[in-house]
Structure 1
């Protein structure tokens, strides 16, 4: 299992579009992917779970991935988050 802390930097946080992007990326991989905020952990492949985290701009999240393609999944998710989900 690998784990990485990431900071949500896009102005609107993990709103519906950003959450959908995260879920889309997560579903490209076979690994189990969880996102944790303030001790609450959700399946990154679940749009409802991601939205329930209510992660606003500046929120620290922890991404935990376990599986054969964990490194590739972490790289893709890290790139998405660090790019601010492609938002200004």
Structure 2
């Protein structure tokens, strides 16, 4: 299991468009993927659960990946969360 703590750099919140893109990327991996914020941990492959976290720029989150492609998943999703997207 890989655990990465980071400060989100997305412009705006991880809602709607950004969440859909994040979940699409997460679902492309076989590994289990979780996001944790403020004591809540949810599946990174569930659009509704990720939206419920209401992640926004500057929030401290933890990305957890576990499985056969956990390294690739962690790198890809970390890059997504740390990139200022429009």
Q: Give TM-score scaled by structure 1 length.
A: 0.92
Alignment root-mean-square deviation, CA: 0.9
Distance in 2 between the 1:8 and 1:18 partners?
Answer: 12
* Secondary structure of 2:22's aligned partner: helix
1:7 and 2:14 equivalent? no
Once the two structures are TM-superposed, the CA of residue 57 in structure 1 deviates from its matched residue by 1.6
How far apart, CA to CA, are the structure 1 residues paired with 2:9 and 2:73? Answer: 20
User: Who is 1:72 aligned against?
Assistant: 72
Gaps of 5+ in 2: none
Count of matched residue pairs? 86
TM-score (structure 2 length as normaliser)? 0.94
Q: How does 1:1-88 map to 2 (within 5 A)?
A: 1-84=1-84, 86-87=85-86
Runs of 4+ in 1 over 4 A off after TM superposition: none
Which consecutive residues of structure 1, in runs of 5 or more, have no partner in the other structure? none
SS of the aligned residue for 2:48 comes to helix
Measure the CA separation in 2 of the matches of 1:10 and 1:80: 8
